[in-house]
């Protein structure tokens, strides 16, 4: 029985659809073309990495790990990657690595300026921070749905959702790192007649690097946590190995791919942590 | 020449200083203003000037507004009311870029907790000001090296700030301020965080640097001994207001009110007071052309056992003692020249009491005070010093 005074439902879903339809109609041509180019870049990288024998790529990655971090992390890298190669997961590993790093790169490219803005302007802070809360608490799956009409099925949609989901910590920690610079040091820079930009580049950003790196580290981890979800819209990589295992109910294959993701996560985590530590300054 | 002039500087912290300012000019007290409006009066109507080449010390207890005051001078804090003149130019309304330029050209600042940049080595810390001014690299390096050298830190260019002790860090702070070759040094409790021995060293070093460089220095401290040691003049502050301005000696000898008097009580006066303040007129003296008999008569009528000898133009010749004068009289000498002991210690009027005390410990007679031309200005005697130290007028 229908009650006479029932409050009508707000058509929130319809509104959002209408808004998205409008955006798709007017901007999809643009996003589709971005998508096409970005996809080309991604496959260029993947093809490039697959062109060389895994042994060479492993040596290169190990050297990079050694340069950026230390010999321990390099050892971890060489063992981890050889293990993944042995599991015959080399190609999905390269795909996932590429997606994660491209997504992280884009996220950081957007996050650092936003973080700086939020740190330096109170009104920007008041807009950006609630937005971050929203982006982080929204279930990640939801981003997949609108991504498809804009970017089509595949890696770019996955990257788009990953960027949105993984960006907030980089923004937050960039903002925090800049705000943490002691007032006394800012005052010293001011006393010598520094402009805002001079303060930013000579003082605030250099001192914020360890904190920013901690943010980037979290962004990488969140991006990795998206790989299975991203596989649902055709992103490929280790995520799709897991996804396939779910569909075929093959726990062994699922865990194997899952462990591969964990190994990749550990390597990326250790490298990015070490980069942050190396740039840490003693507060004098 | 006048370098800095502050006129009626007032600073009120809070969201709405208007009402507080009106109350303040109506004579309402700081505490009442805070209770009624929630606005904190940090400075009220502070006026003073600093001469070029002078060290002006601002001294006051914690919360008296010293840091606020020094920051109003280069507008790191905007005064709520009043003006600041630098070299006669009113800087209170300078636009942003002109203000930055002024800070670059005229000011060097040294901070209580050093405020060195932890990510830069000493050389890069010291050249910071020049970098901000877009000076070329070679020039910056030269200036920074020279500045580090002037504070005794040559060879430490590559060290990082955290590797240094507090005293060394503050030397870097000083070098960083000096590297831009500023007219004015602003020092906010620059030595307060250092332990006493290092602090004393730094004070002496700053004084000797100042003797060479002749900067204009505004020096903040909460320590009266430091104020009296460093200052050509001292400004005493209390609750955001100036209580007294004067030379160290004036502050110690004539405190303006009970507040100052309480401070001064604990001061080591022997370091602050000079011969000038314990000088008494020489009284009866003998002249070089007096006969021994005349001198002896003067001594006997004044009941003195010794007497200073001067020329008619006041130039000090020495001292004679009763015994040798009596001997000269009995021998029938015509002059006293041969009786004069010319090996008399003398002091100038700016000599501190500590020096006088150590001389008088070995010289139990009157101690003559002379000017640069050796003209007698007066004498100092033991009891005069004791009275001054005991604060008896
Ligand atoms: N940003 C601020 N907001 C509100 N009140 C302030 C602010 N800065 C200073 N004050 C107040 O102004 C008064 C003077 O402070 P100031 O720091 O100038 O004192 P000070 O003499 O330097 O003290 P200290 O010896 O502790 O450094 C104090 O009562 C302080 O609480
Ligand atoms: Mg202070």
Mean pLDDT across B349-373: 88
Q: How far apart are CA A167 and CA A108, in angstroms?
A: 7
- Asked if A174 and A215 count as a contact pair (C-beta separation under 8 A), the reply is yes
Nearest-CA residue for atom 14 of ligand 1:
B65
Mutate to test the interface with B, among A177, A178, A184, A188 (most CBs of B within 10 A): A188
Whether B314 contacts B375, CB under 8 Å? yes
Average pLDDT of the residues in A8-32:
88
Structural domain boundaries enclosing A60: 25-283
Whether A198 and B132 lie within 8 Å, measured CB to CB: yes
What are the start and end residues of each CATH 3.40.50.300 domain in chain B? Answer: 2-269
Q: Looking at residues A182-200, what average pLDDT do you find?
A: 96
> Among A110-124, A191-205, B162-176, B301-315, which stretch is predicted with the lowest mean pLDDT?
B301-315
Instruction: Give the residue with greater pLDDT, A182 vs B389.
Output: A182
Does a structural domain hold residue A1? no
Q: Please tell me the distance between residue A202's alpha carbon and the centre of ligand 1 in angstroms.
A: 28
In this prediction, residue A167 has a pLDDT band, given cuts at 50, 70 and 90, of: very high
Residue B366, Cα to own-chain centre: how many angstroms?
Answer: 29
Pick the CATH number of B276-390 from 3.10.28.10, 3.10.580.10, 3.90.190.20, 1.20.20.10: 3.10.580.10
B317 lines ligand 1 (CB under 6 A): no
Q: Which residues pair with B244 in a beta bridge?
A: B236
Rounded (5°) CA angle A125-A128-A134: 135
Contact in structure between B156 and B122 (CB atoms under 8 Å):
yes
| Average pLDDT rounded to a whole number, residues A33-59 | 92
Q: What is the pLDDT of residue B234?
A: 96
The mean predicted confidence, pLDDT, of chain B is: 91
What share of chain B has pLDDT > 90, as a percent? 57
Distance from the CA of A248 to the center of ligand 2, in angstroms? 71
Residue A14: inside a domain, yes or no?
A: no
User: Does domain B2-269 sit in CATH 3.40.1280.10?
Assistant: no
Q: Is the pLDDT of residue B203 over 60?
A: yes
Nearest ligand 1 atom to alpha carbon B220: 22
Question: How do residues B288-321 score in pLDDT, each as one tens digit?
Answer: 888 888 888 888 888 888 889 998 888 998 998 8
pLDDT, average across residues B69-91:
96
The answer to whether the CB of B216 is under 6 A from ligand 1 is: no
Q: Do B162 and A284 touch (CB under 8 A)?
A: yes
Q: Closest chain A residue to B103 measured between Cα atoms?
A: A193
Q: Return the percentage of chain B with pLDDT > 70, whole number.
A: 99
Residue A5 maps to a domain: no
pTM given for the model: 0.83
Q: What is the spatial distance between Cα B324 and Cα B318, in angstroms, rounded to a whole number? A: 13
A108-112, B64-68, B289-293: least confident range: B289-293
Mean pLDDT of B43-48: 95
CA of B69 to the centre of ligand 1 (A): 10
In this prediction, residue A3 carries a pLDDT of 61
Tell me whether residue A115 is in a domain: yes
The pLDDT of residue A1: 52
User: Where are the extended beta strands (E) located within chain B?
Assistant: 2-13, 40-51, 55-60, 81-86, 89-90, 107-110, 184-188, 216-221, 233-238, 241-246, 286-287, 306-310, 316-321, 367-370, 376-380
CATH classification at residue A171: 1.10.3720.10
What was the pLDDT predicted at B69?
A: 97
- Residues from chain B that touch A207, judged by Cβ atoms under 8 A, are 118-119
Do the beta carbons of residue B187 and residue B110 sit within 8 Å?
yes
Q: Average pLDDT for residues B78-101, to the nearest whole number? A: 96
Mean pLDDT of A247-254: 92
User: Rounded mean pLDDT of B213-223?
Assistant: 95
Q: Which of A74, A58, A79, A108 is nearest to A220 (CA)?
A: A108
CB contact (8 A) between residue A188 and residue B186: no
| Confidence band of B99 (pLDDT split at 50, 70, 90) | very high
Query: Is the CB of B116 inside 8 Å of chain A's CB atoms?
Result: yes
Give me the residues paired with residue B236 across strands: B59, B244
Half-sphere exposure of A203 toward its Cβ, with a 13 Å CA cutoff? 28
Is it the case that residue A173 has pLDDT exceeding 80? Answer: yes
Among partner residues B103, B119, B161, which is closest to A192 by beta-carbon distance?
B103
Provide the ipTM. 0.83
* Contact residues, chain B, for A188 at CB < 8 Å: 109, 111, 115, 117
Query: pLDDT at position A68, please?
Result: 92
Among B202, B183, B186, B185, residue whose Cα is nearest residue B194: B202
Q: Does any domain span residue A69? A: yes
Cβ–ligand 1 distance for B42 under 6 Å, the answer: yes
Determine the pLDDT at residue B393: 45
Q: How far is CA A5 from CA A1, A2, A8, in A?
A: 12, 9, 9
Query: Tokens at residue B383, please?
Result: 């009891």
Number of domains in chain A: 1
Q: Which of A172-176, B164-168, B326-330 has the lowest mean pLDDT?
A: B326-330
Does the Cβ of B13 fall within 6 Å of ligand 1? yes
Backbone angles phi, psi at B185, to 5 degrees: -105, 125
Task: Quickly state the pLDDT bin for B333 (edges 50, 70, 90).
Answer: confident
For the segment A183-189, the average pLDDT, to the nearest whole number, is 96
Q: Note whether B117 contacts A203, CB cutoff 8 Å.
A: yes
Q: Which residues contact A128 (CB under 8 A, 6 or more apart)?
A: A114, A117, A118, A171, A175
Residue B248, H or E segment: helix B248-253
Q: Is B360 on the interface with A (CB under 8 A)?
A: no
What is the predicted pLDDT for the residue at A284? 41
Percent of chain A whose predicted confidence (pLDDT) is above 90 = 69
From A80's Cα to the closest Cα of chain B, the distance in A is: 35
* CB-based contact A241:A84 (threshold 8 Å): no
Mean pLDDT of A81-95: 94
Does some domain include residue A17? no
Distance CA B99, CA A275 (A): 39
What pLDDT does B324 receive?
87
CATH 3.10.580.10 segments of chain B: 276-390
**Cβ neighbours, 10 Å, residue A44:** 11
Q: What is the structure's pLDDT at A283?
A: 57
The SS3 of residue A236 is coil
Q: What's chain A's average pLDDT?
A: 91
Residue A19, in any domain of the structure = no
Residue A207 has pLDDT above 60, yes or no: yes
């Amino acid at each position: 029985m229908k009650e006479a005074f029932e409050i009508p439902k707000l058509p929130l879903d319809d509104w959002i659809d209408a808004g998205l339809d409008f955006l798709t109609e007017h901007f999809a041509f643009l996003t589709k073309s971005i998508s096409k180019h970005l996809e080309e870049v991604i496959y260029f990288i993947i093809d490039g990495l697959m062109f060389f024998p895994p042994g060479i790529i492993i040596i290169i990655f190990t050297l990079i790990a050694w340069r950026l971090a230390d010999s321990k992390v390099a050892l971890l890298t060489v063992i981890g990657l050889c293990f993944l190669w042995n599991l015959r997961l080399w190609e999905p590993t390269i795909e996932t690595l590429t997606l994660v790093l491209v997504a992280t790169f884009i996220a950081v490219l957007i996050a650092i300026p936003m973080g700086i803005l939020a740190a330096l302007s109170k009104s920007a802070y008041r807009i950006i921070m609630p937005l971050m809360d929203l982006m982080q608490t929204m279930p990640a799956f939801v981003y997949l749905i609108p991504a498809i009409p804009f970017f089509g099925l595949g890696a770019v949609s996955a990257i788009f959702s990953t960027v949105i989901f993984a960006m907030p910590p980089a923004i937050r920690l960039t903002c925090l790192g800049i705000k943490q610079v002691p007032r006394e040091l800012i005052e010293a820079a001011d006393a010598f007649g520094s402009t805002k930009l001079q303060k930013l580049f000579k003082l605030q950003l250099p001192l914020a690097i360890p904190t920013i790196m901690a943010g980037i580290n979290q962004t990488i981890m969140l991006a990795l946590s998206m790989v299975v979800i991203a596989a649902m819209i055709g992103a490929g990589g280790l995520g799709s190995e897991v996804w396939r295992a779910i569909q075929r109910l093959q726990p062994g294959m699922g865990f194997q791919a899952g462990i591969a993701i964990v190994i990749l996560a550990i390597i990326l985590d250790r490298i990015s942590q070490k980069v942050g530590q190396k740039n840490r300054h003693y507060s004098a | 020449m006048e370098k800095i002039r502050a006129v009626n500087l007032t600073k009120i912290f809070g969201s709405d200083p208007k009402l507080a300012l009106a109350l303040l000019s109506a004579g309402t007290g700081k505490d009442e203003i805070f209770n009624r409006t929630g606005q904190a009066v940090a400075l009220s109507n502070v006026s003073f000037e600093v001469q070029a080449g002078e060290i002006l010390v601002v001294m006051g207890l914690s919360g008296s507004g010293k840091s606020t005051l020094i920051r109003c001078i280069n507008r790191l804090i905007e005064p709520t009311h009043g003006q600041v003149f630098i070299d006669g130019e009113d800087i209170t309304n300078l636009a942003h870029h002109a203000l930055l330029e002024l800070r670059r050209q005229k000011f060097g600042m040294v901070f209580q907790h050093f405020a060195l940049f932890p990510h830069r080595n000493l050389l890069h810390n010291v050249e910071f000001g020049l970098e901000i001014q877009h000076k070329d690299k070679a020039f910056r390096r030269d200036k920074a090296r020279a500045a580090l050298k002037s504070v005794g830190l040559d060879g430490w260019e590559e060290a990082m700030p955290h590797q240094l002790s507090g005293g060394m860090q503050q030397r870097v702070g000083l070098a960083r301020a000096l590297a831009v070759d500023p007219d004015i040094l602003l020092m906010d409790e620059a030595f307060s965080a250092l332990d006493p021995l290092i602090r004393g060293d730094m004070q002496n070093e700053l004084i000797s640097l100042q003797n060479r460089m002749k900067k204009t220095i505004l020096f903040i401290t909460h320590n009266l001994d430091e104020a009296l040691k460093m200052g050509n003049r001292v400004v005493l502050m209390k609750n955001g207001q100036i209580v007294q301005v004067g030379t160290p000696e004036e502050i110690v000898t004539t405190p303006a009110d009970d507040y100052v008097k309480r401070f001064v009580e604990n001061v080591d006066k022997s370091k602050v007071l000079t011969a000038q303040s314990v000088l008494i007129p020489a009284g009866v003296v003998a002249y070089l052309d007096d006969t021994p008999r005349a001198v002896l008569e003067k001594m006997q009528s004044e009941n003195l056992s010794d007497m200073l000898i001067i020329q008619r133009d006041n130039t000090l010749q020495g001292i004679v003692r009763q015994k040798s004068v009596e001997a000269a009289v009995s021998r029938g000498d015509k002059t006293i020249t041969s009786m004069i002991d010319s090996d008399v210690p003398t002091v100038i009027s700016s000599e501190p009491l500590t020096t006088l005390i150590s001389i008088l410990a070995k010289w139990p007679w009157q101690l003559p005070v002379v000017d640069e031309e050796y003209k007698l200005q007066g004498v100092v005697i033991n009891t005069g010093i004791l009275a001054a130290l005991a604060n008896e007028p």
